[in-house]
Amino acid sequence: MQVETDVLVVGGGPAGCWAAWNAALNGMNVVLIEKGYVGTSGATAAGNTTTIYTRRGTAERAATVAQRVRLGHGFSEAERIERVLDRTCQNLDLLAEWGYEFPSYEDGRPYRGMLRGPDYLRFMRQKLIKARVKVIDHCPVEELLVSDGVVAGALARYRRTGETLQISAGAVVIATGGCAFLSGALGTNNLTGDGYLMAAEAGAVLSGMEFSAQYGISPSYSSVTKGVVYFWGTFSDEQGNVLPEQGDRQIVVARELISGPVYAILDKASPRLQEGFRRGQPNIFVPFDRLGIDPFTQRFPITLRHEGTVRGTGGLKIDDRATTTVQGLFAAGDAATRQGMSGATTGGGGPNSSWAMATGSWAGEDAAKFVRSLGANRRGRKIHSANEHSNVNPVRNPSDVHEVLEIAKQQILPLNGGFFRDRATLSEASRKLADLWQDQSWRSKRTAKVREAEALIATARWATESAILRKESRGLQRRTDFPDANPALARPIDSGSSESFWAAFQSENQVSAAS
């Protein structure tokens, strides 16, 4: 099947929805394609998400920007944060104007700092359909199409029928989310870094991939990694000895988990706060209620689940809006590097959802502008796949792709190699990931699972090579052999290629998390 459109948006989360809306608003024919279902697929759809709703010039905005700059470890950019929050405020006002029902304060005033994920995305889906955006569900994009180095569409495959879909487009927006390395964190099972690989095959550069070692606390029997409630928690070992409260909470928990079980109890939350948590983040408490556990009075076992670039900051390198390093290709949300917004640390819920709104909007606008600049030149272009290895020769004894994925995950997920890093563990991971990548036996059939495995391994390789290069500890980069931050290394690390998998510091005259 063949489809032609002005703007193709790949990925149906918040960033993709805002990109599609703004491209359509700027007069473009738009196709939004998602490997799951637009409205239920991805991390946001799995629960509530906070947002940042502040006006420029207010004390609240100044405090928010100052906090993000402080937590950025030298990488976040104040004016960029301001612009992101300006656009977020504009979009939240627009949602209210459209009729989205925000929660309210006790006095009845609307509270725009919270969005209910499923309602939010269902609302956006209906808005896009009314705007005549063509929404295609359950159709994973497998590779990008290019024409003389300019991205010009994509190849996808319907899950149910296996039928191939070729989409010719004037511009493509990658809004495929990040990669959580199949860790089991809530809403991340289809977030395997697909967009990173497709873009890299087309020549795009990534940045900040070493800042991907983000782990979230969750009950050991739950996938929910929302960490806000643990600010009111007490942590202890198996014998009941309380863990130190000084220092980074995740680091304290990670160190103890390597040697044995860790437990938590949310005993510092007042009754009023407990009620607020249950109302504002109800999905946190579902697993507790099913097991008959009161987390405010009873200890429960916890673990750390890898959230990767879904909550970390690495991703496709963009300019001060949403344009990648390849013509015709734009990136938004978790697919784009968040260094300019969150620096070397996780942005968590609010900053990340705000980033998705802003970069999604800019991606849609800039994609539309690019299509208009092409004029009639885009008609009749000769296009071909950006993936030079899309045709794989069959092998006699193919390997099991699920087994390959398990090997790849073991190079990234364990705390004593992924959370805490050193030269030895990183070098060993680099070698094993390279071996997996070179092995063609598990690629004997071009399936969606194989493509996800390729993307996950590629993402792990960029992250590992970048982590090897950054010989310091800064934010989510925790090197036990280089425990201190090195001021001379306060420069972004770029990475790329699906062949050589290189990583390099940005040059002195290009020291920006955004460009």
- Taking only the tens place, the pLDDT of each residue in 378-406 is 877 899 999 876 555 555 456 799 999 99
Q: Where are the domains of the chain?
A: 2-212+308-383, 215-306, 401-508
Strand-pairing partners, residue 212, are none
CA-based nearest residue to 305, from 92, 55, 43, 112: 43
CATH topology of domain 401-508: Methane Monooxygenase Hydroxylase; Chain G, domain 1 (1.20.58)
Burial letters for 240-266: b for 16+ Cβ neighbours within 10 Å, e otherwise?
A: eeebeeeeebbebbbbbbeeeebbbbb
485-512 pLDDT, tens digit each:
999 999 999 999 999 999 999 976 554 4
Take residue 490 and report the two structure tokens written for it.
């306060």
Cα 422 to Cα 429: distance, rounded to the nearest angstrom: 11
pTM of the model: 0.95
**Each residue's pLDDT tens digit, 423-452:** 999 999 999 999 999 999 998 888 889 999
User: For the segment 110-154, what is each residue's pLDDT rounded down to a tens digit?
Assistant: 889 889 889 999 999 999 999 999 999 999 999 999 999 999 999
Burial 359-368 (b: 16+ CB within 10 A, else e): bbbbbbbbbb
CA of 222: how far to CAs of 287, 288, 302, 362, in Å? 6, 9, 9, 36
Looking at residue 511, what is its pLDDT? 46
Query: What's the pLDDT at 398?
Result: 61
pLDDT beneath 70, residues of the chain: 389-398, 508-515
The closest alpha carbon to 17, from 3, 1, 30, 2, belongs to: 30
Q: What are phi and psi of 23, to 5 degrees?
A: -65, -45
Q: What is the average pLDDT value for the chain, to the nearest integer?
A: 93
CATH architecture of 215-306: Alpha-Beta Complex (3.90)
CATH code: domain 2-212+308-383 is: 3.50.50.60
